[in-house]
Structure 1
């Protein structure tokens, strides 16, 4: 299989994974991730939001995939899309190469071309999208002699969104960035760092200098309040704001989403509460002081505007929470992009 004939999206690097294969999808390349905090070094290997995309007329397409064990579940998961339509959801047993066959749905011959091409992707594009927690490896695509190619520019959404943030951004294929991207008909590069969004210089430089994007959102603060004084947070946030805005592209800074330690929602305020308030004020002030037309600030409370959208830990959104966050953020971003 000539992998030059397919597109790897959201993969910062394709690397060898011991025991699995040579084509493992890493969201952040090794030379960058190994300069980050300890947790980020393996979270960056999570393939969430990475996609394998291709176009072929073959009536039978055999796919060969594997993954390592996800951090929070027993099985990996790949979702197969035909254009914008979810075609199949498949569990992947860790450590084993699995094979499945794709056959173009007959229903696509019944619906009008206008109907099945109303989203951002052409209905001719096959997409293998990887869910949260594992590193996925592609071992082969067999089209049984039919030609295969990467999608053309006009077969994909025009705009490319870069989403950086905490586990709430890292989320899953049902997380708020992916929901909002569907609403906006854009592509989203999920660069969320679960429990590890520390705004290191190396990470910021990589996102700005090496990733291709048209607009970016940076959800900042929640992962730093437990171990970073406000002055350190301000220094790192200031560097991020300056580097991102210097590109001239649209940049949106999002403050901490409401949670059980937020000052307006807690009966037991503590150091994390104080730091969250300080962080939010710092972010707002940085944007106001910068005062450039491509930089915008959205308070987290305006994205998660229903506290019952949180799960039982009162920190991470539920499926409902991610849905309302995605809808709210899409409405706000639509006015900026």
Structure 2
């Protein structure tokens, strides 16, 4: 959506609240049918959200603030496909109103030449402020800015749905999440529908994904949130069956995976094997299925919390899954 000359990428609507404008990633008709955490919190997280604009006045000044969180709330700045230089690579967003001054790109002619010669997908004059995955609020912008046009952006888009692993937890920075990395590798744009702790495979979410016409291929990561939740094996199987049934009607490529390697206790490992088999039985032959342990199988690539991949594990998922996807989309 576009507001004040900015394209709020991966945002359905801005909701005026006391702290500022909250960024809601999905429309109310789907949000209100999701579980409580997804409905009230995670749908407003900055997962996959970018503020995109072209600067017409020398610099743009953004006014933002963040909710308090356990991790640093840092925005990362790109000029098209190029990471910002050290002066403009990242900006910390505080819990009080924070002012981010962002200049236009230096030497745009050189950046345009490299973009053309290397076949990079974004116009380097498009500033991309990649927000952290916590909740941020937009307060306003100073300077003359305009949203990018279709000609400034990649011509294909990848949509990713899944748990906190999809959402980017422990990627250390949003551009290190596997959806961002896969999009880079395949030269496309991305939409991140990661739902930390709340990817419960509601049939309504599958219907929403299929209803969107702004993606060319998609992936769904299924299982880990329901493994640690209050779901029985039968309930999980019913959810997966219904979720896959909706997605299987889609002509666009949909890639599916099950629970990645993790280092939790033996009881959870046994339950995970059952869940993986359910996903395989439901998805194989209907979606483009790859077992989660084929994408990540190394216990040394899991973080100290025993569940989430560390950054090396996330890179491995991106490398292996993008190699699978490339066979079907090019």
TM superposition score normalised by structure 2: 0.88
Q: Distance in 1 between matches of 2:111 and 2:279?
A: 47
Counterpart in 2 of 1:133? 134
Quick one: structure 1 residues 26 and 211, their matched pair in 2 at CA, closer, same or farther if it must change by over 3 Å? farther
Counterpart in 2 of 1:48? 47
Counterpart in 1 of 2:7? 7
Quick one: structure 1 residues 302 and 55, their matched pair in 2 at CA, closer, same or farther if it must change by over 3 Å? same
SS of the residue corresponding to residue 312 of structure 1 reads coil
SS of the residue corresponding to residue 120 of structure 1 reads coil
Q: Distance in 2 between matches of 1:81 and 1:138?
A: 21
Counterpart in 2 of 1:264? none
State whether structure 2 residue 283 is matched by structure 1 residue 287. Answer: yes
My pick for the range that moved more, 149-158 or 161-170, is: 149-158
Q: Distance in 2 between matches of 1:165 and 1:130?
A: 19
TM superposition score normalised by structure 1: 0.86
Contact 2:166 2:177 in 1 (8 A): yes
Residue 112 (structure 1) shift: 5.6
Q: Distance in 2 between matches of 1:258 and 1:129?
A: 28
Quick one: structure 1 residues 35 and 257, their matched pair in 2 at CA, closer, same or farther if it must change by over 3 Å? same
**Structure 1 segments of 4 or more deviating over 4 A?**
none
Contact 1:24 1:138 in 2 (8 A): no
Quick one: structure 1 residues 205 and 253, their matched pair in 2 at CA, closer, same or farther if it must change by over 3 Å? same
Q: 1:306 aligns with which of 295, 298, 311?
A: 298
- Unaligned runs of 5+ residues in structure 2 are none
Quick one: structure 1 residues 187 and 241, their matched pair in 2 at CA, closer, same or farther if it must change by over 3 Å? same
Residue 212 (structure 1) shift: 2.6
Residue 186 (structure 1) shift: 1.3
- The equivalences for 1:120-269 within 5 A come to 120-143=121-144, 148-171=145-168, 173=174, 174-210=176-212, 212-226=214-228, 227-261=230-264, 269=266
CA offsets 1:115-163 (integer angstroms, 9 cap, x no match): 14532211111111101222332412422xxxx4321222111111111
Contact 1:13 1:25 in 2 (8 A): yes
Q: Distance in 2 between matches of 1:133 and 1:82?
A: 23
Q: Distance in 1 between matches of 2:195 and 2:231?
A: 17
Q: Distance in 1 between matches of 2:197 and 2:294?
A: 22
- Unaligned runs of 5+ residues in structure 1 are 262-267
Residue 107 (structure 1) shift: 4.1
Contact 1:163 1:217 in 2 (8 A): yes
Residue 210 (structure 1) shift: 4.2
Residue 322 (structure 1) shift: 1.2
